[in-house]
Amino acid sequence: MSLPTTFAIALPDWFDDWLADQPERFPAPEDRMRAAVELSRLNVERGTGGPFGALVTDERGRLVAAGVNRVEPDSCSSAHGEIVALSLAQARLGTYDLSQHGALELATSCEPCAMCLGAIPWSGIKRVLCGASKTDAEVTGFDEGERIEDWTGMLKRRGIEVVTGLLQDEAAAVLRDYARRGSRIYNAG
């Protein structure tokens, strides 16, 4: 019997063009969230995955890595935008513990699902910016899994600052557009 011994998640073909158009820095939290929402929107418009985007930046707002949801294209249930961005940041910096490179931040177009919430503390991220809410995703049809009610407090107790609702309307609009297009809600409850 032959079993797979490796797997890879690749960003879509359009990503390099997006990256070439980005500034050297995303100075304000709104700039970083705007980029995460744009990634989610492009992923929907180009039909290259689910309506979620994320980026990891350093303390000065410089892009370390970015990701979009690749669950369906790569047949991988863990290929959420946040996981892809965190994994690419870890690959780029050569460590599973991103805290070794300062107070890195994750900007994500939607609050983390249960899986991504679990990955955040272990990644070494020190700040999380969230756009759309868990409710926004669930109203669209996504099953975001169980989270403790005080998930932001749990992260804070672990030294991770959380900002929610940043550009929420713009981020939620991408989720609604995805559903309106009739795109598959791959993990509907």
**pLDDT (mean) for 87-104:** 97
Q: Which of 16, 126, 118 is nearest to 66 (CA)?
A: 16
User: How much is the pTM?
Assistant: 0.96
Confidence band of 182 (pLDDT split at 50, 70, 90):
confident
- pLDDT tens-digit readout, 123-160: 999 999 999 999 999 999 888 999 999 999 999 999 99
Measured at the CA of 76, the angle between CA 5 and CA 180, to 5 degrees, comes to 165
Q: 3-class DSSP state for residue 130? A: strand
Of the residues 45, 59, 72, 82, only one is catalytic, namely 82
Q: Tally Cβ neighbours within 10 Å of residue 24.
A: 9
Confidence band of 34 (pLDDT split at 50, 70, 90):
very high
Q: Where are the alpha helices (DSSP H) in the chain?
A: 15-20, 29-45, 81-93, 114-123, 134-140, 151-157, 168-180
What is the structure's pLDDT at 143? 85
| CA distance linking residue 62 with residue 45, whole number of Å | 26
> Is 45 one of the catalytic residues?
no
